[in-house]
Structure 1
Amino acid sequence: MTFLLNSCLDIFDLRARTKTLDQDLGLLQAIDERLAAYGWLTNTGIKFIIVVDMMGRPPPPDEDKRRFPAVVGLRDADLKPAFRAVQTAYIQLMLNPFYSPDDRTPLQIANYGGQSPEITSKRFINELQRIGKVWAPGVANI
């Protein structure tokens, strides 16, 4: 997974050099016809990557099949609601006065092996898990 994410970040950089970027970068990379990575870039330069397992999840109960018809493939626009929800969750995290983002300089991070600390906010993690469970192709609002 680390390789996939790092290669996706390289693709962000390559696309930034060739054209003006839209927020939705669409499909960045697909691996083994199963994993597909999609990208989103905020106007402040924050990069979000959503990795989708194309094998899907178990089918919903019979009563939900009318709400979520069978879908083959995934369009780039299908992920926009998920990216917007992730961006909103990130903004809420940054607006939290009790959250302290990493205060190291880029040079200190580079000397530390390039590792940035993980976001450990339980509220943020729970919101991302909720987004992952609620999202499905065709869902317009999360």
Structure 2
Amino acid sequence: MVHTSLDVVDEKVSAMGKALVDQRELYLGLLYPTEDYKVYGYVTNSKVKFVMVVDSSNAALRDNEIRSMFRKLHNSYTDVMCNPFYTPGDRIQSRAFDSMVTSMMVQVC
């Protein structure tokens, strides 16, 4: 399901490049809905892709809340990448990043 969603991400990113779309809009929206799950996507300016899978039965999550969660994730990811002691490509070992992701998961449940 996630691999299929990545194909949709690539399609949307290439379509954004061709069209005159606001390049600051990084949220790709709903990528792949199924009976059980909804898959949302986000791509950064440096082409890092974030994919979020949520339970379809969770009606409390609206599109603007998903967008906000992606922005928080992106900001936290940027903080990790800006750390001079982090080596790109290594596993992210940041307590702040882990706690932010955990709090997002608790919020969704």
TM-score by length of structure 2 reads 0.77
Q: Distance in 1 between matches of 2:99 and 2:60?
A: 27
Q: Which residue of structure 2 aligns with residue 28 of structure 1?
A: 31
Q: Which runs of 4+ in 1 moved over 3 A?
A: 19-22, 72-75
Q: Which residue of structure 1 aligns with residue 102 of structure 2?
A: 129
Alpha-carbon shift at residue 25 of structure 1 (Å): 0.7
Contact 1:40 1:48 in 2 (8 A): yes
Alpha-carbon shift at residue 73 of structure 1 (Å): 6.7
Aligned partner letter, 1:14? E
Aligned partner letter, 2:4? S
Q: Of the two, which has the highest radius of gyration?
A: 1
TM-score by length of structure 1 reads 0.61
1:84 maps to 2:71: yes
Identity across matched positions, percent: 30
Q: Which of 1, 4, 10 pairs up with 1:7?
A: 4
Aligned partner letter, 1:125? D
Superposition RMSD in Å? 2.2
Q: Distance in 1 between matches of 2:72 and 2:105?
A: 10
Alpha-carbon shift at residue 134 of structure 1 (Å): 2.8
The structure with the greater share of residues assigned to helix is: 2
Q: Which residue of structure 2 aligns with residue 111 of structure 1?
A: none
Contact 1:28 1:37 in 2 (8 A): yes
Q: 5+ residue gaps in structure 2?
A: none
Matched residue pairs, number? 102
Q: Distance in 2 between matches of 1:86 and 1:129?
A: 11
Q: Which residue of structure 2 aligns with residue 49 of structure 1?
A: 51
Q: Distance in 2 between matches of 1:43 and 1:135?
A: 26
